[in-house]
Structure 1
Amino acid sequence: MIVYYFSLPKVLFKPNYTTVIESAEGHFIGAKIADDGQWRFPESDSLPKKFEKCILAFEDQHFYYHFGFNPVSMYHAFLQNRRANKVVRGGSTLTQQVIRLHREGTKRSYFEKIVEVILATRLEFRHSKDKILRLYAAHAPYGGNVVGLEMASWRYFGLKPHQLSWAETATLAVLPNAPSLIYPGKNQQKLLEKRNRLLKKLFEEKTIDKDTYELSLLESLPEKPFVVPQTAPHLLQKIAKTNKGEKIKTTLKLGVHERVNEIVSQYYNLYKQNQVHNIAVLVVDVKTRNIISYVGNSPTDISHQKDVDIIEAPRSTGSILKPFLYASMLDEGEILPNTLIPDIPTQISGYSPQNYDFSFDGAVPASRALSRSLNIPSVLMLQQYSVTKFYEQLQKLKLRDVNRHPSNYGLSLILGGAETNLWDLCRSYAYMSGTLSNYTKTQDEFRSNELANLNYNSNLKVDFGKPKKEKNVFSAGAIWQTFNAMREVNRPQGDEAWRFYDSSLKIAWKTGTSFGGRDAWAVGITGDYVVAVWVGNATGEGRPLLTGVESAAPILFDVFRLFPRTNWFQAPYNDLEEKEICIQSGYLAQENCKSKLQWIPKNNRKTENCPYHKLIHLDKTEQYRVNSTCENIGDIVNKPWFVLPPVMELYYKSKNVNYLPLPNYKPGCVAVNQGRKMEFIYPNANTKIVLTKDFDGKLQPVIVKVAHSETEAELFWYLDDKYLGSTKTFHEKQILATSGTYIITVVDQHGEELKRRILIESN
């Protein structure tokens, strides 16, 4: 009895199954073949009634009445085989066939038959009849490398087993009888005869009626196997790493995912003409964090890395992290939404950032700097905020590829010096959208696990944690203001007039382009979805004209057009405060500037008042500045004036025609407390300048630049004690000197003096 009890292993079949994924609706969308090269689905928990009727009628009519073997059937099989002097009938029950499948490779003999009988009875003790039928259906051979009913159903008919007709089901019922000799595409006539005999038997037993029988006979056999669908091959690869040999019902919405695949295919055919071969798109449902489309790569070829899953690949960020800096500074009260940020030639410890178009605005509102993705204001904002603090914010957002010490990134962290991936990027922006939506819904609550990981398994539900009053990374007010700024980003070609029509997509979005045109990013956010797009070459090869706006953004907007239009985010008034804001500077208003009421995050009330407005004294004509040395006090007109520092003013007035420079002092007035009128544009203090040579080996001078607030000012230049000459209007001077340390001195016609120490190397 002990030997009998342990004669059958607890697990009959090694778990060597095909990894299978289904869409959220239950459609078969992909499979990865088992390690032994067989297409074998994991065992199903149910069996279609049609198949049960067919297989019992064909293989084992007394299945529910015997205890593992059928002596009468075995005796008749023995007599027939003796008369034919060969095996013409097996006489095995379905239970015995399960044992035979379990003991695959064992030589057929009468002794083996005895072993099968013993083990079959043991199997009957262990499992129910339904379980034994499911074991048979999951492991029966169906020709070639197809194993099991479910795989055979997909492979030969492209349907699930329960969707098959009686004729199709009967075909699959007779196939395991001789799978090496008869299967779709081989010995079709024999297969047809076996199927029709089974259908006739079902009719005679009144399992099917006459009409069903006659119509079933008219159905044709499949000619060749269907191709296994590969709708989401890269998600399949990802799932196979953690859920190998399992059937996973994913969160992918098949209709949306197929359309995203079509969009990617269309743009791939367009971009490959510029030798751009790889595209990835990730779409996330914000409310559930479920992934509804996962396109890991474009339909390219092996030579262009078609199997690489770009969604998890670290790539240079370009400008895609700028909204996180903007939100961080808003949140900590270091800027207001429209605080003026300098946009001037900048050099910081030898690092000279440049805007994409190599121009300067002088000063630009912080929100516009974000929407226009200006590099210089972003670098200056990061310098003000600190690289270390921003790095810590990115760690809170769980950007896994930002993993070096902050000093390794420096200020380039905001311009593409770091790497990230589409997965982490979507999770971070979904966190921001979810935080804002939940806060406005509950009035003043955050959720402890708002930064939850993305989910692709329909059987799992994301736990957002418990309600709390403290923010996770950003406050709701800061997120709302950030999304408002991101909504103003210039749309791609063909959608420039989006502000003027009601049907335009209401999304917050941002693009990014890495150095050398290697990576083009676009991410868009609504209250319902986050869509992230990457375009480039998986090999890292850069291409001209590859930018986030021109390459990734069109894909982003085409994907968003698949969804119903949504309303814009509601303002989180419990996290906002209405304050008087200076219209021109964007700072908290002071008495000398025109202001308007504006909603700002509560922490922003600690920011400084406007530093760019001051009260000046004018004569009655308001053409000249005056003071008590040249004008009667009763005739002096006091007027607020918007005044920028000289370098900011130089570039700002070229882009803003309404900007009025300070009037000159009235002749005869003694100017007092004029403030700084001159500033060096280049170089910075204590800068080391290496003079270069041209193609002829001739040493080239350094160009020193100065800005003066008076348009007609004349400046006099000195290098140490040597007079270099004067300049008017445009204040630039060439300096050519031997190696050494020098003092550059600039003096204007009023006697105001400016000095700068530099180190020159001319070797």
Structure 2
Amino acid sequence: MRLRMKREGDRIQRGAGGSRRRRLALALLLLGIALAAVAGLDRLFPPELGRLRNLSVLVEDSNGQLLRPFAAADGAWRLPVTVQAVDPRFLQMLVAYEDRRFHWHAGVDPLAVLRAAWQWARTGSVVSGASTLTMQTVRLLEPRPRTLQSKLIEMLRAVQLEAHFSKSEILGIYLTLAPYGGNLEGVRAASLFYFGKEPLHLTDAEAAMLVALPQSPERVRPDRNPVAAREARNHVLARMEDAGLLDAAAFAETSGEPVPPGRREAPMVAAHLADRLRRADPAAAAIRTTIEASLQRGLEALVARRQSELENGATIAILAVHNSDRTVRGYVGSTGILDSGRYGPIDMVTAVRSPGSTLKPFIYGLAFDGLFIHPETIMVDRPMRFGDYAPRNFDNRFHGEVTAREALQMSLNLPAVALLDRIGPLELARRFGLSGVALRLPAAAEQPGLPIALGGVGVTLQDLVTLYAGLANGGVTMPLRFRADQEAGDSQVLMSPLAAWYVTHILEDMPPPPNRLIASDGRRQRQIAYKTGTSYGFRDAWAIGYDRDWTIGVWVGRPDGSFSPGRMGRDAAAPLLYEAFDLLPPPTGAAALMKPSGAAPVGAILASNSELPPALRRFQPAASAWRSPSAVQGPNLTFPQDGAVVELRSGDRIESLPLEVTGGELPLIWLVNGRPLSTQPWRRQAEWLPDGLGETRITVIDKAGRSASAEIWIQ
């Protein structure tokens, strides 16, 4: 009997055990099905992150500092940000105010849900919400009507979001998309536009303001509703005091601070370069440049300061390059990209202009390479004609015999043209082309001619800085680099190291611009080699200089190409060049005392003219170049020049126009539109007060009846 009962008990126990196993298996099966369903739904309906793909494009300096943001495709300023880039104090306030249990719940705070449900059941209305920061992030990613159904979807999506992202990543999404009034979204945009700073450096009052704004961004916008903004901020500060994050003294101090009076403009540092790089790569989400923000701001401040000395319509461009890797560290396209009165949107770094005399050093360099001349070779500066081309010096004077060194330092035209005649304009253009510099010829020219020696061709500031950086690096050119991820380009030998050394040795002995010693307050001068240039009609003033580490180019002029009265490279651009070099970090060690040329390379001939080999003592231009001095004895109008546009209007009155002539035999007769002027005939200067605006013809006649004329436009 006992045995039978025992067997029956064992059978029942085995049956119960089997039943438990079946129930467990069923539960596991159901759980697996549920998990599979959740996984399937997750795959079918992944987190909607579309708004995170429509962000502002950021252009940054070499260290990641923001230079210029561009609005997103929908017009919003939506700047990406991470928690690491935000003030920890702000994050502490945000979590304390919005979601105290953010760091431990799984997207939905059950305690907050129970509290909200109890309050609703007890009062029949919503007393407090239960939205967590994760649920708010879901709402920012997928805006929905504020209904109970939407709230349930947000809860599910919040749990899903927590499964996909870390707490820091979820906060980063919230901080990128939170609304801050108008078209400002995200804490970085709000901090920049309201406070002019990155959100990593907020005060307690600023942090509280940015915590309060997303709750009602339009109602409490400080630029529209300063009273409401102040109240909302102080409400956050009071909550922080209650939470123990502020003491009474700190609350009293911060709650009394003013709110921002308005909304600032978007950062616009290196604006032309940012615009250029964005157009070149429109799909880029962020562009890291080679710019040094501190140097860039210094150059922009320098340009803004000197802008006041220019007439209306004129502007300045500067390009600064580090020689070792040809990275562009400073880029000023004009005095202001938004200044339409000065053609600010035009990037004068890339604008094609006449280079004046700035190409002469390369003509001399190729002549040194070809062993046509040595720096101490005697050259003759006298009237010459090359076929139909009869160049003249800028001052219409001739200096007779000079050394090649003196001819380059004085920027004499005739010796440079005679050298180019020997080298060949095509060869010069070919060398430039190999360096990536394409000369833009006048419309009627089929191939380069001798006038390119004097600026009769188009180049850009970028072209000139590329070439001069090659001089600084022993005659080896490389493309300039504008982006941090841009690989170094191929190097190209423009001239030999010896020729580059000769040129640099000459240019480093150029005297500094006027008043340089006074302007520098006695500070130790930086040793630089430089060349200036002035284009026909004073339209372009250039100064390009370099030392062992840096090359800087400066252009001053009118972007519309009109006449600029009396502006020359030495007076207008060279002082800016020296001031730009003053902004660079000072050289250290032996380099601080070393000239750009450095020690003489192997093969350099350090000798006087009499000690040179006979073939290098004197340069002889082609026999056909000489012409009679009588051919240049007639008068020459130096001001105004033919084709000039002259601004003489000053308010409601018209100012007088100075007239100047060189050459010719005194006495002189001046005519304006065929009518003689009352002037002193024994002087080469005169003055005329126009009786109106428009086209005018100025004529001067000398004693021998020879004349010179200029047709100008007065405005």
Same fold (TM over 0.5): yes
Q: 1:433 aligns with which of 466, 472, 486?
A: 472
Structure 2 vs 1, CA of residues 197 and 571 (structure 1 numbering), >3 Å: closer, same or farther?
Answer: closer
Q: Are 2:626 and 1:589 equivalent residues in the alignment? A: no
Matched with 2:546 is 525
Letter in 1 for 2:570: V
Matched with 2:329 is 292
How far 1:269 moved relative to its partner?
1.7
Matched with 1:443 is none
The 8 Å contact of residues 341 and 381 in structure 1, kept in 2 or not, is answered as no
In the alignment, the residues of structure 2 paired with residue 187 and residue 579 of structure 1 have an alpha-carbon distance, to the nearest angstrom, of 76
The 8 Å contact of residues 511 and 548 in structure 1, kept in 2 or not, is answered as yes
Structure 2 vs 1, CA of residues 610 and 155 (structure 1 numbering), >3 Å: closer, same or farther?
Answer: closer
Structure 2 vs 1, CA of residues 400 and 577 (structure 1 numbering), >3 Å: closer, same or farther?
Answer: closer
Matched with 2:479 is 453
Q: Are 2:569 and 1:560 equivalent residues in the alignment? A: no
Structure 2 vs 1, CA of residues 573 and 82 (structure 1 numbering), >3 Å: closer, same or farther?
Answer: same
In structure 2, the gaps of 5 or more residues are: 1-36, 631-672, 675-703, 706-715
How far 1:518 moved relative to its partner?
1.8
Q: Give CA-to-partner distance per residue, 1:558-607, whole Å, 9 cap, x none.
A: 32333447430354544324476533xx8x334xxxxxxxxxxxxxxxxx
Q: Give CA-to-partner distance per residue, 1:353-378, whole Å, 9 cap, x none.
A: 11111222344322222211111211
Q: Are 2:514 and 1:493 equivalent residues in the alignment? A: yes
Matched with 2:141 is 102
SS at match of 1:511: strand
In the alignment, the residues of structure 1 paired with residue 166 and residue 628 of structure 2 have an alpha-carbon distance, to the nearest angstrom, of 87
- TM-score scaled to structure 2, two decimals? 0.73
**Is the deviation greater in 146-155 or in 116-125?**
116-125
Matched with 1:729 is none
Q: Are 2:263 and 1:225 equivalent residues in the alignment? A: yes
In the alignment, the residues of structure 2 paired with residue 190 and residue 502 of structure 1 have an alpha-carbon distance, to the nearest angstrom, of 53
Structure 2 vs 1, CA of residues 609 and 308 (structure 1 numbering), >3 Å: closer, same or farther?
Answer: closer
Structure 2 vs 1, CA of residues 572 and 242 (structure 1 numbering), >3 Å: closer, same or farther?
Answer: same
In the alignment, the residues of structure 1 paired with residue 628 and residue 525 of structure 2 have an alpha-carbon distance, to the nearest angstrom, of 36
Matched with 2:530 is 509
Letter in 2 for 1:547: M
The 8 Å contact of residues 477 and 572 in structure 1, kept in 2 or not, is answered as no
- The 5 A counterparts of 1:176-575 are 176-208=214-246, 212-242=250-280, 246-248=285-287, 250-272=289-311, 275-299=312-336, 301-402=339-440, 407-435=446-474, 451-457=477-483, 459-460=484-485, 463=488, 472-494=493-515, 503-563=524-584, 564=586, 566=592, 567-575=594-602
In the alignment, the residues of structure 2 paired with residue 549 and residue 174 of structure 1 have an alpha-carbon distance, to the nearest angstrom, of 57
- TM-score scaled to structure 1, two decimals? 0.68
Structure 2 vs 1, CA of residues 416 and 179 (structure 1 numbering), >3 Å: closer, same or farther?
Answer: same
In the alignment, the residues of structure 1 paired with residue 56 and residue 133 of structure 2 have an alpha-carbon distance, to the nearest angstrom, of 24
SS at match of 1:516: helix
The 8 Å contact of residues 7 and 119 in structure 1, kept in 2 or not, is answered as no
In structure 1, the gaps of 5 or more residues are: 437-449, 591-607, 614-643, 652-694, 697-732, 735-763
In the alignment, the residues of structure 2 paired with residue 344 and residue 103 of structure 1 have an alpha-carbon distance, to the nearest angstrom, of 80
Q: Are 2:201 and 1:163 equivalent residues in the alignment? A: yes
Matched with 2:112 is 73
Letter in 1 for 2:613: A
Backbone CA RMSD of aligned residues? 3.7
The 8 Å contact of residues 313 and 343 in structure 2, kept in 1 or not, is answered as no
SS at match of 2:108: coil
Structure 2 vs 1, CA of residues 200 and 333 (structure 1 numbering), >3 Å: closer, same or farther?
Answer: same
In the alignment, the residues of structure 2 paired with residue 550 and residue 35 of structure 1 have an alpha-carbon distance, to the nearest angstrom, of 46
The 8 Å contact of residues 182 and 188 in structure 1, kept in 2 or not, is answered as yes
- The structure where helix makes up a greater share of residues is 2
The 8 Å contact of residues 362 and 648 in structure 1, kept in 2 or not, is answered as no
How far 1:172 moved relative to its partner?
1.1
In the alignment, the residues of structure 1 paired with residue 313 and residue 306 of structure 2 have an alpha-carbon distance, to the nearest angstrom, of 10
Structure 2 vs 1, CA of residues 86 and 424 (structure 1 numbering), >3 Å: closer, same or farther?
Answer: farther
In the alignment, the residues of structure 1 paired with residue 466 and residue 428 of structure 2 have an alpha-carbon distance, to the nearest angstrom, of 18
Q: Give CA-to-partner distance per residue, 1:77-130, whole Å, 9 cap, x none.
A: 3555677776664422222212211123x3332222232223222222211111
The 8 Å contact of residues 43 and 138 in structure 1, kept in 2 or not, is answered as yes
Letter in 2 for 1:292: R
How far 1:389 moved relative to its partner?
1.2
How far 1:504 moved relative to its partner?
4.8
The 8 Å contact of residues 362 and 650 in structure 1, kept in 2 or not, is answered as no
In the alignment, the residues of structure 2 paired with residue 130 and residue 465 of structure 1 have an alpha-carbon distance, to the nearest angstrom, of 44
The 8 Å contact of residues 377 and 618 in structure 2, kept in 1 or not, is answered as no
Matched with 1:51 is 90
Matched with 2:660 is none
Equivalences, count:
583
How far 1:347 moved relative to its partner?
2.0
The 8 Å contact of residues 372 and 490 in structure 1, kept in 2 or not, is answered as no
How far 1:293 moved relative to its partner?
2.5
Q: Are 2:38 and 1:38 equivalent residues in the alignment? A: no
- The 5 A counterparts of 1:588-737 are 588-590=612-614, 608=615, 610=617
In the alignment, the residues of structure 2 paired with residue 392 and residue 222 of structure 1 have an alpha-carbon distance, to the nearest angstrom, of 58
Matched with 2:167 is 129
SS at match of 1:181: coil
Matched with 1:111 is 149
The 8 Å contact of residues 203 and 210 in structure 1, kept in 2 or not, is answered as yes
Matched with 1:677 is none
Letter in 1 for 2:422: Q
Q: Give CA-to-partner distance per residue, 1:326-353, whole Å, 9 cap, x none.
A: 1122123232122233423222231111
